């Protein structure tokens, strides 16, 4: 009996000395790893100790030596989607990571509209949120990791959080846009979907970038970009990059979805350049220059007065960025705004549109038309303005992707003459054409057209599949204030 006690005590003592493996929060039970690629597994061990990583899906062992500070990283090959699997990590005493799935991993980031959880904010609902909570158990292949708001002065190696399975107890607190996006990917692809969401409300894009990357952008108002939008530590440029993006950079992922911009209305004229630089920075950190970047058009809101145009000017910058960021796309929200809430409740539609973009452009799924129609050209003649659109077929016998016009009067268009005064336009269409004709008794000779170009508007033109038209203007008259 005494010998047994001594043996057990000795084993416990040995375990306490030898169990030096420490994994980052992102590498843990229930995680999803990106399929058909090479992923990183990393952590800490004893200084200069040998570390082995055994993966159950291929029965392989990977070996490395921790550096002088104990840091180590191995690159592990992953198979096609499946699981569950285990990963055994050891520097003498093993640590087992359990219930690992292989699938598709996406980073879901932004400010409060990405942060807004399925159960909503105080006094602000997410439409259909309770339905998602009730149905959460039907999606066991969705796993979620929330990185809490963590501003930091210097880049951090780790973050807080844990991988959670989709369930009524977990879904309500997760990003509504992120969850809806993952849900629709899972429904179509029928494989595990991993969602990592670093988000923080009331923050400008500069918080999600390094100071160096901001200062390197030519031609921007650097002084304004470096000025925090509030007194919150999270508003300091680079603070959220340091505390929330840098710790996740080693987690091999498929792509990014992004919902942010309201806090950059003050420097809307530079937003496209800032976002372009941020995407370049993030892709560099993930070591994937072609990593998909899909983002959300800001929804209309009665901000600074419904008739002002500070919000559509920011949206205009979002669409400018689309022309220079490769492998990017935007989910239109022209029809989803709310006059009284900066957080539109229709998060399901936003998540679906983002998923539609990813399914078409990343996973090459047929049957989807995810790209919003945009203005191609405007012709002015005979007292009318004729708008022609991109992303709409000239004629479609089946009606696929055509403009809807049979059920309501088209609203949201304005035209102006040389006096620069805009008036609501009467809109009409020609059968089988992807164009709209505009006129107004108050504008005998129109020279400019705007659509959905107010902070809040009633623009309602959509395609037969419900895809809204992107806001636009043909002039450059700066009447923001």
Q: What is the pLDDT of residue 441?
A: 97
In degrees, rounded to 5, the angle at the alpha carbon of residue 348 between the alpha carbons of residues 264 and 364 is: 90
Adjacent-strand bridge partners of 40: 75
Task: Kindly list the strands in the beta sheet with 426-429, ordered across the sheet, starting from the edge strand earlier in the chain.
Answer: 375-381, 384-389, 435-439, 426-429
Q: How far apart are CA 89 and CA 441, in angstroms?
A: 75
Task: Supply φ then ψ for residue 55, to 5 degrees.
Answer: -110, 130
Task: Supply φ then ψ for residue 281, to 5 degrees.
Answer: -65, -50
Q: Is the pLDDT of residue 335 over 70?
A: yes
Q: What is the pLDDT of residue 392?
A: 83
Q: What mean pLDDT comes out for the span 16-26?
A: 79
Q: What mean pLDDT comes out for the span 272-300?
A: 98
Q: What is the pLDDT of residue 348?
A: 98
Mean model confidence pLDDT for the chain = 93
Topology, domain 17-100: Immunoglobulin-like (2.60.40)
Q: Which residue has the tokens 């992102």?
A: 26
Q: What is the pLDDT of residue 403?
A: 87
Q: Is the pLDDT of residue 479 over 80?
A: no
Q: Distances in Å between the alpha carbon of 451 and those of 2, 334, 383, 385, 461? A: 86, 10, 18, 12, 10
In degrees, rounded to 5, the angle at the alpha carbon of residue 333 between the alpha carbons of residues 225 and 186 is: 105
Q: Is the pLDDT of residue 459 over 60?
A: yes
Using a pLDDT cut of 70, give the percent of the chain over it: 94
As given in the structure block, the two tokens for residue 43 are 């952590």
Adjacent-strand bridge partners of 89: 53, 95
Query: What are the pLDDT digits (tens) for 384-420?
Result: 999 999 988 765 555 667 888 766 799 999 999 999 9
Residues of the chain with CATH 3.40.50.1110: 103-361
C-beta separation of 199 from 189 below 8 A? no
The 3-state secondary structure of the chain reads: CHHHHHHHHHHHHHHHHHCCCECCCCCCCCCEEECCCEEEEEEECCCCCEEEEEECCCCEEEEEECCCCCEEEEEEECCCCEEEEEEEEECCCEEEEEEEEEEEEEEEEECHHHHCECCCECCECCCCHHHHHHHHHHCCCEEEEEECCCCCCCCCCCCCCCCEECCHHHHCCCEHHHHHHHHHHHHHHCCCEEEEEEECCCCCHHHHCCHHHHHCCCCCCHHHHCCCCCCCHHHCCCHHHHHHHHHHCCCCCCEEEEECCHHHHHHHHHHHHHHHHHHHHHHHHCCCCCCCEEEECCCCCCCCCCCCCHHHHHHHHHHHHHCCCCCEEEECCCCCCCCCCCCCCCHHHHHHHHHHHHHHHCCCCCCCCCCCCCEEEEEEECCEEEEEECCCCCCCCCCCCCECCCCCCCCCEEEECCCCCEEECEEEECCCCCEEEEECCCCCCCCEEEECCCCCCCCCCEECCCCECCCEECCCCCCCC
Query: What are the pLDDT digits (tens) for 426-458?
Result: 999 877 788 999 999 999 999 999 999 999 999
Of 207, 186, 189, give the one whose Cα is nearest residue 198.
Answer: 207
Report how far Cα 84 is from the mean position of its chain's Cα atoms.
27
C-beta separation of 209 from 124 below 8 A? no
Which residues, other chains included, contact 396 with Cβ-Cβ below 8 Å and sequence gap of 6+?
402
Query: What are the pLDDT digits (tens) for 79-110?
Result: 999 999 999 999 999 999 999 999 999 999 99
Q: Is the pLDDT of residue 1 over 70?
A: no
Q: Is the pLDDT of residue 16 over 60?
A: no
Q: What is the pLDDT of residue 434?
A: 83
> What b-and-e string marks burial along 125-160, b requiring 16 or more CB atoms within 10 Å of the CB?
ebebbeebbeebeebebbbbbbbebbbbeeeeebbe
Using a pLDDT cut of 90, give the percent of the chain over it: 88
Which residues, other chains included, contact 116 with Cβ-Cβ below 8 Å and sequence gap of 6+?
124, 126, 175, 176, 177, 343, 347
Query: What are the pLDDT digits (tens) for 134-162?
Result: 999 999 999 999 999 999 999 999 999 99
Query: What are the pLDDT digits (tens) for 30-87?
Result: 999 999 999 999 999 999 999 999 999 999 999 999 999 999 999 999 999 999 999 9
Which residues, other chains included, contact 100 with Cβ-Cβ below 8 Å and sequence gap of 6+?
29, 30, 31, 32, 33, 83, 84, 85, 86, 87
Q: What is the pLDDT of residue 375?
A: 96
Task: Supply φ then ψ for residue 15, to 5 degrees.
Answer: -65, -45
Q: Is the pLDDT of residue 271 over 60?
A: yes
Q: Which residue has the tokens 């030596």?
A: 65
C-beta separation of 351 from 180 below 8 A? yes
CATH superfamily of this structure's domain 103-361: SGNH hydrolase (3.40.50.1110)
Q: Among 15-24, 32-41, 238-247, 394-403, where is mean pLDDT lowest?
A: 394-403
Residues of the chain with CATH 2.60.40: 17-100
Adjacent-strand bridge partners of 428: 437
C-beta separation of 45 from 51 below 8 A? yes
Q: How far apart are CA 274 and CA 324, in angstroms?
A: 12
C-beta separation of 164 from 142 below 8 A? no
Q: How far apart are CA 48 and CA 152, in angstroms?
A: 29
As given in the structure block, the two tokens for residue 350 are 């936003």
């Amino acid at each position: 009996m005494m010998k047994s006690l001594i043996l057990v005590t000795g084993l416990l003592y040995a375990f306490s000395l030898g169990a030096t493996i420490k994994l980052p929060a992102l590498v843990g039970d229930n995680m999803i790893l990106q399929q058909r690629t090479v992923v990183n597994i990393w952590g800490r061990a004893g200084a200069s100790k040998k570390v082995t990583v055994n993966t159950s899906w291929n029965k392989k062992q990977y070996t490395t030596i921790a550096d002088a500070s104990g840091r180590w990283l191995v690159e592990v090959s992953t198979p096609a989607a499946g699981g569950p699997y285990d990963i055994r990590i050891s520097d003498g005493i093993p640590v087992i990571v359990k219930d690992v799935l292989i699938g598709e991993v996406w980073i879901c980031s932004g400010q409060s509209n990405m942060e807004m959880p399925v159960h909503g904010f105080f006094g602000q609902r997410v439409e259909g949120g309770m339905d998602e909570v009730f149905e959460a158990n039907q999606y066991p292949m969705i796993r979620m990791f929330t990185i809490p708001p963590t501003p930091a002065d210097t880049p951090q190696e780790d973050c807080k959080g844990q991988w959670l399975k989709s369930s009524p107890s977990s879904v309500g607190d997760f990003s509504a846009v992120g969850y809806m996006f993952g849900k629709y990917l899972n429904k179509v692809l029928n494989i595990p979907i991993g969602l990592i969401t670093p988000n923080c409300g009331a923050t400008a894009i500069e918080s999600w970038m390094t100071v160096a990357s901001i200062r390197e952008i030519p031609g921007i108002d650097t002084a304004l970009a470096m000025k925090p939008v509030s007194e919150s530590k999270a508003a300091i440029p680079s603070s959220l990059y340091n505390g929330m993006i840098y710790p996740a950079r080693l987690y091999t992922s498929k792509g990014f979805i992004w919902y942010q911009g309201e806090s950059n209305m003050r420097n809307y004229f530079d937003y496209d350049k800032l976002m372009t630089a941020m995407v370049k920075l993030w892709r560099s950190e993930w070591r994937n220059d072609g990593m998909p970047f899909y983002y959300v058009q800001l929804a209309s809101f009665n901000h600074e007065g419904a008739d002002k145009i500070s919000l559509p000017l920011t949206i205009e910058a979002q669409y400018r960025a689309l022309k220079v960021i490769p492998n990017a796309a935007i989910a239109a929200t022209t029809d989803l705004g709310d006059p009284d809430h900066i957080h539109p409740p229709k998060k399901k539609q936003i998540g679906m549109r983002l998923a539609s973009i990813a399914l078409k452009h990343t996973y090459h799924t047929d049957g989807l038309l995810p790209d919003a129609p945009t203005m191609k050209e405007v012709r002015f003649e005979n007292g009318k303005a004729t708008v022609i659109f991109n992303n709409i077929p000239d004629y479609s016998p089946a009606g696929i992707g055509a403009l809807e016009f049979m059920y309501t009067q088209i609203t949201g268009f304005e035209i102006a003459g040389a006096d620069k005064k805009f008036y609501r336009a009467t809109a009409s269409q020609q059968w089988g054409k992807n164009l709209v004709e505009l006129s107004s008794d108050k504008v005998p000779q129109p020279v400019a057209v705007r659509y959905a170009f107010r902070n809040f508007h009633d623009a309602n033109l959509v395609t037969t599949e419900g895809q809204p038209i992107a806001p636009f203007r043909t002039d450059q008259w700066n009447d923001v204030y």
